[in-house]
Amino acid sequence: MKRYLLLLFLLPAALAWNPNCINKPVGFGYRTTGGAGGRTVTPRNIDELRKYLYSKEKLIINLDRTYDYTYSEGTVKATGCFFQKCGRNNYQQSLSGRGTCHGRPHTTVTYHKAGLSELWISSHKTIMSSNGRGVIKGKGIRVKDAQNVIIRDITITDINPEVIWAGDAIGLDNVQNVWIHRVTTRRIGRQHLVTFQKTNKGITVSSCFFDGTSPHSAYCDNKHYWVWIFFGTHDEITLINNHVLNTAGRTPHTGGWSGAQNYVHMIYNTMDVNPHTGIEANQGARILSEGNLFIKYANPVAPFSRGGVLAMVNDNKLAQRCRGYFGQNCAVNKYSGSKVTYRWDETVLSQFSHLDKNAINSARNARCL
């Protein structure tokens, strides 16, 4: 069923995003304990931070300053193209050989090598900032072949923002039980958050600020396109109470290949300003969207996405359909200055009902919006 409606009303100020409404992991990542019980360490420099993150020891890693990797590995010149040129200094480039340069004028792309590879995080870690000043700059992080990791209260920023394919902020690669909480990402060249083509279960991303504001944008409008992509063979991800600002697409891009199987629970997120496209439910995607607030979204669901299943809970009648699957109603999505897209594939509810209902209901019971 597809119906479209333009709502012009403004929602009450009381619905403003509150990053403090969650103080423990809920959703699929609710079992995560991170480095609890391990010693607390404070890295003195970028080399110590790298060592602690990859250590086999259970650790609480306290970031108390900016760890700037931008120039740590030098710069690289490579053949690429202008993906979009928006003026003398406002442009986004792409590296060649990645499928984005076909038909575009070639140029020499200069980028910081550090951004092209992430800091690897091993099992039983908590990465946090007790003073709120913890920043990783110029390089992202990847939880790889690991379990039980908490990343919270830090900022990841400035990873080759003018170059697509020159760095992701947060990557999840064959992991279980990860809680990402109150993390800010901004000025990232490619994805702010990505799962790779293995199994990624027990993932909760909560109360994070994904800031897409950038002069280096795909549409020359200061809004970042490459935001979230979920690509695993079996992903179970809760996205709850995040603020996603000034984006142009991939919120999220899910599935899109024959081996993908992605269960994504989007709930109570503030999806704030997107003049292009949002949710992409491609082959292998199973997305439940409830209780989200879409503000000035031209297309909450990308009209070109194909192959996946998506349940947008847009009225009370649809919310009540959830009771037979989860024992409680779903929350209803809200819209302000956005086009309401009715996409209802009830098979999503059936498929989610076979997962951990405690995880699904604990997220719903948080009631952040």
By annotation, the residues acting in catalysis are 250
User: Which residues, in sequence order, are CB contacts of 213 under 8 Å at separation 6+?
Assistant: 186, 222, 223, 224, 245, 246
Residue 369 CB burial class (10 angstroms; 0-12, 13-18, ≥19): buried
DSSP assignment string, 234-256: EEEEEEES-EEESB-S-TTEE--
CB 195 within 8 A of CB 237: yes
3-class secondary-structure state, position 28: helix
CB 275 within 8 A of CB 294: no
Q: What tokens does 300 get? A: 């909450």
Single-letter amino acid code for the residue at 212: G
